Structure 1
Amino acid sequence: MKMVQTLETVKTEQEINLIDNVFTAAEAATIINDVLNAKINFHKIKRLSIKEGNENDACEYDNGRIQELLNEQQIAKEFFSQARIQGKKLKIKSKVYIGLEE
């Protein structure tokens, strides 16, 4: 029997090409709102989980991040509205970089 030795490569980084296309203003609004809503909900659930363990925790990071994302959502809404009025299409590119934290 022949033994084959392989080296297992340990991946320390990953890149995901999440979005890369041209969209109508309505399509772009749907995509971006869905992504923002997912992140907002993530922080809301995290905040709720923290509060269950310690009702006195102010959850400052999550509260601040939720507000930032809501502000970005409003800015995006206005941007998409302008694009829609002008009859423009929108190019969206989004890459996610993931790396191990030491």
Structure 2
Amino acid sequence: METNGLIKSDKIMQKIQLVQGEFTPSEASDVIMSLIDEKINFHHNQRLQKWEQNHKHDSEELEDRIKQLEKEKQKTREFIANAKALKKNILINGILEIAIVENLL
């Protein structure tokens, strides 16, 4: 059913199984670091776009998120190093939950 050009859907939430399985520490590092790096790059690009639109734009929120992700990378490195030292594999269950929401911006 269409309403004003928009598609009406009863489904407002979706789960995406992004990563699932057992990995060696090296494989787990590659997977997790790639995901975190991609998110960091996303925020760097957002910051640049905001700055190009307005050189006085306050990017503190984006900077804080980048710092938070860098801390998560470090914690992940330590966790993976521990698994490697124990000669153990790592189980990853990465689920993204997405939802349709009212515009907040």
TM (norm. structure 1) is 0.88
Q: Which sections of structure 1, spanning at least 5 residues, go unmatched? A: 1-7
1:57 aligns with 2:62: no
Identity %: 33
C-alpha displacement of 1:58: 2.3
Q: Which sections of structure 2, spanning at least 5 residues, go unmatched? A: 1-6
C-alpha displacement of 1:33: 0.1
Identify the residue that residue 3 of structure 1 maps to in structure 2. Answer: none
Provide the aligned length of Structure 1 versus Structure 2: 95
C-alpha displacement of 1:94: 1.0
Q: Alignment partner of 2:101: what SS? A: coil
CA RMSD of aligned residues (A): 1.3
TM-superposition CA deviations, 1:48-70 (whole Å, max 9, x none): 00001111112111100000000
Residue correspondence of structure 1 range 3-22 to structure 2 within 5 A: 10=9, 11-22=11-22
Identify the residue that residue 4 of structure 2 maps to in structure 1. Answer: none
C-alpha displacement of 1:9: 6.7
Segments ≥4 residues shifted beyond 4 Å: none
Q: Report the residue type matching 2:22 in the other structure.
A: V
TM-superposition CA deviations, 1:6-43 (whole Å, max 9, x none): xx871322110111101110000000000000000000
1:91 aligns with 2:59: no
TM (norm. structure 2) is 0.85
